[in-house]
Amino acid sequence: MNIGVPREIWSEENRVGLTPPGAGALVEAGNEVYVETQAGAGCGFTDRDYESVGAKIAHSPEESFKRGDLVVKVAPLAEAEVIYLREGQAILAVHHLVVSPKKVLSRLSDAKITTISAEFITDRDGSLPVVKPTSEIAGRMSPQVAAHYLEVPEGGRGTLLSGLPGVPPAEVVIIGGGVVGRSAAWAFLGAGAHVTILETNTRVLESLDELFRCRVATMLSTPVNISKAVSYADAVVASVLSKYEEIVPMVVSREMVRCMKPRSIVLDISIDMGGCVETSRPTTLTDPIYTEEGVTHYCVPNMPSAVARSAAHAWTNVIYQFVSEIAEKGVEAAAGEDGVLATGLTTYKGRVVKQGLARNLDLDYRPLKELLGG
């Protein structure tokens, strides 16, 4: 199969769809891999790195797209990219179609594009294998971001995460006990902060209590408890997970933010799916913060792109098995034989195959099994 790897064009998206080792493994399996020139530059991968493992360099975005029967990206398709799509292609990426521009959705339909949304892929145990490493990165980065923006020169409260003898540590409140929340909690504990986690699922709360051996405080995530917790927080990490067919719910209101400590910080990790804090709006890696209601907000949708090399290796590690399977069998056979891959299909030949997504986008829905002939 021909596989295209375009250079990401979203602002400050430094990751790449395939690393050189991943591209090389696909070439060894008999595939042709076309990597757009400088596609790996943000991760420190050169064109020579790709050529040395047998990949071919595409000299324009149009070539990298049109060469590929399967196109592998990280970021969602941009409006400027959909003009390069050709009929019948498959595109694997973090598509976030629920928040995509209408022009993108229209082109997917017109060109009969099959989209494999990495954020939807669900393992048999209910976990999200592609989302997990990205979420772990965001969680592990949270303490270094919070520590930096709590410093006075950055407009922060001047609070040291770890505290010191005679001075209490920072109060960190994490909303959501998923992968981001657990990873953030481990990292904040390692930095010496006092951590509180709020979660809606009581079984998750029990598992968190066992995991951290009572070293974190746990609370049921209700509006009253969230309001109480954020009022005493120096840093709030909001990491509410949606079903990826819908925009995440807003759980922290403007009034709650208004009642937070002056010059404290909110990290809205859910911003890539609309954000779960009412005062949040997307920011960038070069202009990552703003102040609203006297509170610093960090709302970078592609937070892992700050550590692009590590993030690209983690991404390739988890998506390689799906790319390899599609390359060997084709989308139809791979989706028909492997229920895991089928969970990632959001459109098949231009038709929306996720019911919740179709409902939210006001588009027609067709079950995947029906389109695959049962």
Rounded to 5°, the CA angle 43-49-51 comes to 135
Residue 58: beta bridge partners? 36
> Does the active-site annotation cover 96?
yes
User: Which residue matches tokens 């991760």?
Assistant: 43
What residue type is assigned to position 14 of the chain?
A: N
Spatial separation of the C-alpha atoms in residues 70 and 89, rounded to whole Å:
6
Spatial separation of the C-alpha atoms in residues 220 and 213, rounded to whole Å:
18
CB 106, CB 253: distance < 8 Å = no
Residue 27: how many other CB atoms lie within 10 Å: 17
- Token readout for 336 is 């028909």
User: Which residue matches tokens 């070439």?
Assistant: 27
What b/e readout covers 331-370, taking b as 16+ CB neighbours within 10 angstroms?
Answer: bbebbbeeebbbbbbbbbbbbbbbeebbeebeeeeeebee
- Token readout for 364 is 């027609």
First to last CA, the chain: 25
DSSP secondary structure letters along 145-191: HHHHHTSGGGTS----TT-BTTBPPPEEEEE--SHHHHHHHHHHHHT
CB 139, CB 239: distance < 8 Å = yes
DSSP E strand boundaries for the chain: 2-5, 32-36, 56-58, 70-72, 90-93, 114-117, 171-175, 194-199, 217-220, 235-238, 265-268, 289-292, 295-298, 345-348, 351-352
Q: Which of 96, 194, 234, 268 is catalytic?
A: 96
Q: Which of 69, 234, 268, 272 is catalytic?
A: 272
> How far is residue 44 from each of residues 16, 133, 285, 314, measured CA to CA in Å?
10, 20, 18, 15
- Which residues form the catalytic set? 96, 272
